[in-house]
Amino acid sequence: MTIYDIAKQAGVSIATVSRVLNGSSNVSAKTKEKVLAIMKREDYTPNIFARGLGLNSIKMIGLLCTDVSDIFYAKAVSVIENALKPLGFNSMLCCTGNNLEDKKKYMDLLLANRVDALILIGSTFKEKTDNSHIAKVAAQIPTVVINALIDLPTTYCVVCDQFQAMYDNVHILHKHGHDRILYLYDVDTYSSNQKLEGYKAAHHDLGLPLHTELILKVNHNKKDILDTLDSLFKKGITFSAVLATDDYMAICSMHSLIARGYSIPKDIPVIGFNNSMLCECSIPTLTSVDNMVESLCITAVNLLTDIFQGKNVTHKITLSAQLIERDSFQS
C-alpha cells in the first residue's frame, strides 16, 4: 500500500493525501475524514514520501546520473546540491552507468537508505519501452526527472525544449544560406531524439531535402569524430554548416575543418549544444545552445519543495533554450 493507492481509493490527488498527512488546513473535513478512514482500514503507515513532508524526514535527497565526469551531469549535480543546502537537505549521489540493471540496483540502494525523494538527471533514465522500475520508486517517494518526459504517476519532469532549439538552429542557418547542414549526434535518448526531430521538422517546414548522408551518429571521442569527417571528405560529400548535439563533438568537428584549411565561421559555421565551459576554451569560441541546466535543476528542487508542502504541482515543466553566440557563428 502506497500513497498513490490511498489517493486512488479516495478519488483524490496525491497532493491532497500529502496535505492530509501534513495536517494542512487546506483540505475539507469530509475529504480528510475519507482519506484517514482508508488509511485506518488499510493499516497504512506513512512511508518515505510522508517523511519528506516533515514526518520523520531524514532530509536526504537521492541523486542519480550515469556519469558525473560528463560536464552536463557534473554541473547539474553541483547546482542541485547548492540549491538543496539552504533548504536543510543533503544529497546522496549514485553514478549508475547506462546499464539498466545497474540503474535499478542504485534506485533500490537509495530507497534502502530511506531518502525522501529522488532526482534522475538526464534523459538516459528514460527507457524506450519499460519504465516500470521508475514507477515502482515513484509510488514510494516523489521522483523528479530532469530533461526527459516520463508519463508516470507521482513522477515529475522538468525539460528543456530541445526540439524547438534545434528547429530554430536550422532556420537561422538557412536564413544565412546554409541548406546542407551536417548533423552529428552520439546517443539515442529522449533528449537526442527531440533534437533530431527538430532538425528534421525544420527541413520539412522549409521545404528542404533531408540529406540522410549528413545525419551521422558518431562515438563520443575525438578520433572517431575526426575519422567520420575524413570519410565524408573522401567520399566528396559536401556540407556548408555543422550542428552537433553537444559541444565536444562540435569542437572536434572544428579541429577537422581547420586542419583542412577551412575558416570558421566564414567558410563553415559550427553550432554546439549545452553551452558548457568548453565553448569559451575553444578557438574559435563556440556558439552553442544553452539548455538551461541551472534553471532546470533549480526548478526541480523548487518542485520538490512544493510537493513536500502538499501543494498542487504540474507533472511537466518546459523551459525554453537560448542560443549563445560566439565566434563560430554570428547571426
Average pLDDT over residues 33-55: 68
Q: Compute the distance between CA of residue 317 and CA of residue 295 in angstroms, rounded to an integer.
A: 11
Q: Compute the distance between CA of residue 296 and CA of residue 321 in angstroms, rounded to an integer.
A: 11
Polymer length of the chain? 331
Q: Compute the distance between CA of residue 53 and CA of residue 46 in angstroms, rounded to an integer.
A: 10
Q: In the structure, what pLDDT confidence band is assigned to residue 55 with cuts at 50, 70 and 90?
A: very low
275-312 pLDDT, tens digit each: 999 999 999 999 999 999 999 999 999 999 988 887 88
Strands 241-244 vs 181-185: parallel, antiparallel or unpaired: parallel
Q: Which three cell numbers stand for residue 33?
A: 475524514
Name the residue with cell 565526469: 69
Q: Which three cell numbers stand for residue 292?
A: 538551461
Using the predicted structure, report yes or no on whether residue 47 has a pLDDT greater than 80: no
Residues 156 and 305 in one domain: yes
Domain presence at residue 325: no
The answer to whether residues 72 and 129 touch, using CB atoms and an 8 Å cutoff, is: no
Name the residue with cell 553541483: 78
Using the predicted structure, report yes or no on whether residue 5 has a pLDDT greater than 50: yes
Q: Which three cell numbers stand for residue 122?
A: 538526464
* Higher local confidence (pLDDT), 56 or 229: 229
Average pLDDT over residues 124-150: 90
Domain presence at residue 328: no
- Indicate the Cα dihedral angle 300, 303, 305, 308, nearest 10°: -120
Average pLDDT over residues 221-232: 96
The answer to whether residues 4 and 14 touch, using CB atoms and an 8 Å cutoff, is: yes
Average pLDDT over residues 15-31: 79
- The conformational region for residue 41 under phi > 0 = left, psi -120 to 50 = alpha, else beta, is alpha
Domain presence at residue 97: yes
The CATH number for 34's domain is 1.10.260.40
**Domain count of the fold of the chain:** 3
Using the predicted structure, report yes or no on whether residue 48 has a pLDDT greater than 90: no
User: Which helix or strand (DSSP H or E) is residue 302 part of?
Assistant: helix 293-308
Residues 155 and 179 in one domain: no
Domain presence at residue 327: no
Could you tell me the residue range of the domain that residue 24 belongs to? Answer: 3-45
Using the predicted structure, report yes or no on whether residue 49 has a pLDDT greater than 50: no
Residue 151 phi/psi, 5-degree rounding, is -90, 85
**Amino acid 51: pLDDT:** 44
Q: What percent of the chain has pLDDT over 90?
A: 70
Average pLDDT over residues 135-164: 91
57-115 pLDDT, tens digit each: 678 999 999 999 998 999 999 999 999 999 889 999 999 999 999 999 999 999 988 89
Residues 187 and 269 in one domain: yes
Q: Compute the distance between CA of residue 22 and CA of residue 51 in angstroms, rounded to an integer.
A: 9
Residues 141 and 171 in one domain: no
Q: Compute the distance between CA of residue 300 and CA of residue 202 in angstroms, rounded to an integer.
A: 30
Using the predicted structure, report yes or no on whether residue 50 has a pLDDT greater than 70: no
**Amino acid 151: pLDDT:** 86
Residues 203 and 285 in one domain: yes
**Amino acid 18: pLDDT:** 73
156-203 pLDDT, tens digit each: 999 999 999 999 999 999 999 999 999 999 999 999 999 999 999 999
Q: Which three cell numbers stand for residue 136?
A: 515502482
Q: In the structure, what pLDDT confidence band is assigned to residue 1 with cuts at 50, 70 and 90?
A: low
Q: Compute the distance between CA of residue 107 and CA of residue 103 in angstroms, rounded to an integer.
A: 6
Average pLDDT over residues 244-267: 97
Q: What percent of the chain has pLDDT over 70?
A: 94
Residue of 310, 303, 304 whose CA lies nearest to 26: 310
Using the predicted structure, report yes or no on whether residue 154 has a pLDDT greater than 90: no
Residues 148 and 67 in one domain: yes
What is the side-by-side order of every strand in the sheet holding 181-185? 215-217, 181-185, 241-244, 270-273, 287-290, 322-324
The CATH number for 80's domain is 3.40.50.2300
Q: Compute the distance between CA of residue 81 and CA of residue 119 in angstroms, rounded to an integer.
A: 11
Domain presence at residue 115: yes
Using the predicted structure, report yes or no on whether residue 24 has a pLDDT greater than 90: no
Q: Compute the distance between CA of residue 305 and CA of residue 87 in angstroms, rounded to an integer.
A: 9
| CA-based end-to-end distance of the chain | 56
